[in-house]
Every structure is written in C-alpha cells, then in structure tokens.
Amino acid sequence: MIPKKIFPQNIYLNLALIFSISSVILIGLFSSNIPSIVSWGQKYEDLHFNLSVSFISSYIFYFIVVHLKERKDFQYTLPYISGLTNKVLSEHKSLMISLDKRLTGNKNYDTATAPQLKEEDLYKILSNLALADEAPLLLATENRNTNWREYIIFRCEETRSSIEKIISLTLFLQSEYAHIILKLESCSLLKTSDNLKSPAFVQMVNNSGMNFLLDDFYKYHVICLELEDYKNKHMTVFG
C-alpha cells in the first residue's frame, strides 16, 4: 500500500513541473541569442520565466512541507491499518471455519486460511442450523457457549468496530482498499446483526433454519475474500 514512487502521483502536477524546468533552462540558454519577433516578446518571455520559477518554488515547498509529511504519516499509519485489516479477516475466518465445521465435521481445521465456501455450501449449512443452536464461542461470564444468534452478533460487532477505525483513517487509504472496506461496511450481514438483537425478530426465527441469512453471509464472504486477496498482494510487508 505504500507508493513505490517518492514523487506525488498527480501526473498533471508533475508534467507542469517538467514544463517549467524545461522553460527555465531553454530561456536561460537561448534567450539572449534569439531576437524577439514581436514588440512584446521580451515581456512575455520574462513573465513566462518568472511564472516557471514561481511554480518550481511552489512545487518544492509542496513536496517538502506537504507531500513528504503525508508520505511519512502514511508509512507510520499503515501497520495500524494492517492490524485492523487482520482483525477483520480474523473475524471472517473464525465465522467461516465455524460454519464449515458444521458441514465437514472436521475438528482438526487448518486455521491459516478461511475456507472457500460456495453459495450452495452455505445454503446446506444454514438450512440445518438454527439461531438457538450452540455456537463455538465460550461465554465465560455465564460458563456456557453462546448460541448462533449471539455468536453472529459478536463477530459482526467486532468487525464493525475495526471497520469504523479504518474508515476514520480515510486520508491514508488507497482507493481500491477504501472501496473494499466501504463495501464491507455497508454489507447486509453487519446490518442484519442489528435485527438479531430484536426480541420480536428473534422469536420469529429463533428455531427455524438460518438460510434466510444466506445472501447476507455469501456477500460478506465474497467481500472478505476480496479484502484478503488485496492484503496478500499489497500489504504483506506488514503481515
């Protein structure tokens, strides 16, 4: 995520700098040897020269005072952003592994990566799972495991908390990364988790299959896989 090029990525700004430097060099080298064709030629040349020098000075000021500072801040902030990204992906991985275990019954699961669940896999799992069923998360204060309603709420709230912290650092986010995070922030599963807190809603669906959450889970899963792919390609330096 750190730009490899040290100069600002604004192509028009950089082209203007090249043009200004070229103008100063050309005027400095050849001005005295080329007569003016029109009466106002010398005044125009002086104006062009002064404007070019002014632009170069402004560019240097911007580069040192603004751009380098932003780049330095960007580099300091990225490990924090990477950590939050890992937290988001960890919540996704935990949730998907828990679901996949219901399908495969595999207890010795490789927790290094999230399972690549297909939509039909999620349908099979959710159809045979109720919100009131026991989930793989210990509620230590009550010495019991959470049910799936509580488990989903917990994972979604943890994810939402990390996303909010990431969004607060929008200034330092690359556009592609920000786009993925904003898609995840508006993901229907995170919003549906709020409905799961409603007693009336819970009473209606508590003992039925969870396949009504299929679309929410699948979209969330796809976006998180996209985020994981981006992280592996662009954020590996921060692990």
Indicate the Cα dihedral angle 95, 99, 100, 104, nearest 10°.
150
Per the structure, the count of domains in the chain is: 1
Query: Could you tell me if residue 194 is inside a domain?
Result: yes
Tell me if 103 sits within 8 A of 125, measured CB to CB: yes
Specify the residue for token string 């939050």.
Answer: 84
Query: Could you tell me if residue 61 is inside a domain?
Result: no
Compare 93 and 194 and report the one with higher pLDDT.
93
Query: Could you tell me if residue 164 is inside a domain?
Result: yes
* CA 72 distance to own-chain centroid: 19
What's the pLDDT at 194? 85
The mean pLDDT value for 23-33 works out to 78
Tell me if 74 sits within 8 A of 170, measured CB to CB: no
What's the pLDDT at 239? 41
Query: Could you tell me if residue 133 is inside a domain?
Result: yes
Residue 227 has pLDDT above 80, yes or no: yes
Tell me if 189 sits within 8 A of 124, measured CB to CB: no
Query: Could you tell me if residue 53 is inside a domain?
Result: no
Closest CA to 161 of 185, 178, 196, 139: 185
The parent domain of residue 144 ranges over 75-238
Q: Is 135 left (phi over 0), alpha (psi -120 to 50) or beta?
A: beta
Compare 44 and 88 and report the one with higher pLDDT.
88
Query: Could you tell me if residue 129 is inside a domain?
Result: yes
